[in-house]
């Protein structure tokens, strides 16, 4: 489902300063990376400063499992995986295919999704509720029909709790799987992450989000009979495999995409038509390659993002 909040700006305000002929290659790379993730180039998005506002510490304090996972770079792999996994449900895929602008502006859609995740993660409780409510109001217009795995036509609505649950499960499983494979240890471990991120599911209208890894696995398995591939899935897959990135980012993205595919189950890869990946004509171990790219991303984007910095200012203010 599309979690757009608003269309981001696509031009960098200080583009000439950071990308002109006098800029270093690393400076240009940093601007390109930031523009890919936020759409605002060298300047942080204006909405990140809004995370300093509010009267409480928010849903997830610093040091929590959610904060630690989402402040790492592994969600870049998890986000790719989530898109792949979500596409396998024909109801979710129908909504994206008919109502999303993923063809015209896939990077804008990425920036909007990042905005929602970071607002829920780092914002005040009210900011998290407001952002999720805005998305749900956008979803009120997303409805139609789809054909299930057995050829039966169904109606759908993006705010349907059953579809909202699938999207939440895909996000949770993907962010967790990516971090377990490519990240560092985090406080409380997997069960704490699933239990804490259930708050995000509830904000999006999920009636009974999982609160443990066992519940996550059980709820995912309950959707197995509903998942299927289709022409729409393959069309979306082409965009996910080859988004319109600057040349400097294409090799890195290929590595991250390969890392995401490697964390899928064999059945999920088979349904997507993706083989167990390897890098290059001479196989290169996927995990070290992914971790190297994530390290470059962290260096380029900064060790502490503007969303975290704004959240920490709010937390210091409200906790004294």
- Considering the domain architecture, whether residues 241 and 97 belong to the same structural domain is answered as yes
Would you say residue 7 lies in a domain? no
Which pLDDT belongs to residue 14? 40
For helices 247-262 and 161-182, what crossing angle results, to 10°? 100
Query: Are 100 and 27 found together in one domain?
Result: no
Judged on CB neighbours under 10 Å (0-12, 13-18, 19+), 188 is: middle
Mean pLDDT of 259-280: 87
Amino acid 282: pLDDT: 52
Q: Are residues 36 and 99 in the same domain?
A: no
Pair (59, 143) in one structural domain: yes
Domain count, the chain: 2
> pLDDT digit string (tens) for 106-133?
666 667 888 999 999 999 999 999 999 9
| Per-residue pLDDT reduced to its tens digit, 4-52 | 333 333 333 344 434 444 455 656 766 666 666 665 556 778 889 999 9
255 located within any domain: yes
Q: Are residues 30 and 59 in the same domain?
A: no
In a domain, 1, yes or no: no
Contact 209, 165 (CB under 8 A): yes
Question: Concatenated DSSP letters for 285-298?
Answer: -HHHHHHHHHHHHH
Burial (CB count within 10 angstroms: exposed 0-12, middle 13-18, buried 19+), residue 110: buried
User: How sure is the predictor about 85, in pLDDT bands with cuts at 50, 70 and 90?
Assistant: very high
If you average pLDDT over every residue of the chain, what do you get? Answer: 85
Question: Are 166 and 220 in the same domain?
Answer: yes
pLDDT of residue 148: 84
Domain span at residue 29 reads: 14-43
Please indicate, yes or no, if residue 21 is contained in any of the structural domains.
yes
CB of 75 within 8 A of CB of 117?
yes
- The per-residue pLDDT for 292 is 95
What pLDDT does 12 receive? Answer: 39
Which residues sit opposite 154 in a β-bridge? 146
pLDDT of residue 21: 46
109 falls within a domain:
yes
160 in the same domain as 74: yes
Using DSSP bridges, classify how beta strands 143-147 and 153-157 pair: parallel, antiparallel or unpaired: antiparallel
Residue 6 counted as domain residue? no
Q: Per the domain annotation, does 137 fall within a domain?
A: yes
Contacts for 236 with CB less than 8 Å, ≥ 6 apart: 83, 87, 93, 96, 97, 102
Same domain, 119 and 211: yes
Instruction: Looking at the structure, tell me whether residues 135 and 281 fall in a common domain.
Output: yes
**Are residues 70 and 199 both part of a single domain?**
yes
Candidate from 18-22, 69-73, 246-250 with smallest mean pLDDT:
18-22
| Claim to verify: residue 125 and residue 55 sit in the same structural domain | yes
177 shares a domain with 39:
no
> In this predicted model, what pLDDT tens digit does every residue of 147-199 receive, in sequence order?
888 888 888 888 899 999 999 999 999 999 999 999 988 888 999 999 999 99
């Amino acid at each position: 489902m599309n979690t757009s909040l608003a269309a981001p700006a696509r031009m960098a305000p200080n583009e000439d300063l950071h990308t002109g002929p006098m800029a270093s290659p690393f400076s240009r790379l940093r601007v390109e990376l930031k523009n890919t993730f936020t759409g605002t180039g060298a300047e942080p998005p204006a909405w990140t400063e809004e995370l300093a506002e509010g009267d409480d510490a928010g849903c997830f304090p610093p040091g929590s499992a959610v904060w630690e996972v989402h402040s790492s770079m592994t969600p870049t792999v998890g986000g790719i995986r989530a898109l792949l996994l979500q596409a396998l449900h024909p109801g979710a895929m129908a909504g994206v295919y008919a109502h999303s602008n993923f063809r015209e502006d896939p990077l804008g859609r990425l920036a909007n999704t990042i905005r929602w995740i970071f607002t829920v993660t780092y914002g005040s409780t009210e900011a998290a509720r407001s952002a999720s409510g805005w998305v749900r109001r956008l979803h009120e217009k997303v409805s139609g029909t789809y054909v299930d795995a057995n050829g039966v036509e169904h109606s759908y609505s993006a705010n349907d709790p059953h579809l909202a649950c699938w999207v939440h499960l895909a996000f949770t499983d993907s962010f967790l799987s990516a971090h377990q494979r490519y990240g560092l240890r985090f406080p409380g471990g997997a069960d704490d992450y699933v239990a804490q991120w259930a708050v995000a599911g509830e904000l999006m209208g999920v009636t009974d989000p999982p609160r443990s890894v066992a519940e996550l696995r059980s709820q995912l398995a309950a959707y197995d009979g509903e998942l299927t591939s289709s022409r729409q899935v393959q069309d979306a897959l082409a965009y996910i495999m080859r988004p319109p990135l600057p040349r400097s980012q294409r090799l890195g993205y290929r590595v991250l995409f390969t890392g995401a595919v490697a964390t899928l189950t064999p059945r999920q890869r088979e349904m997507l038509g993706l083989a167990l990946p390897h890098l290059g004509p001479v196989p290169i171990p996927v995990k070290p390659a992914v971790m190297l790219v994530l390290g470059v991303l962290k260096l380029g984007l900064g060790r502490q993002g503007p969303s975290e910095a704004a959240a920490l200012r709010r937390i210091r203010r409200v906790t004294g």
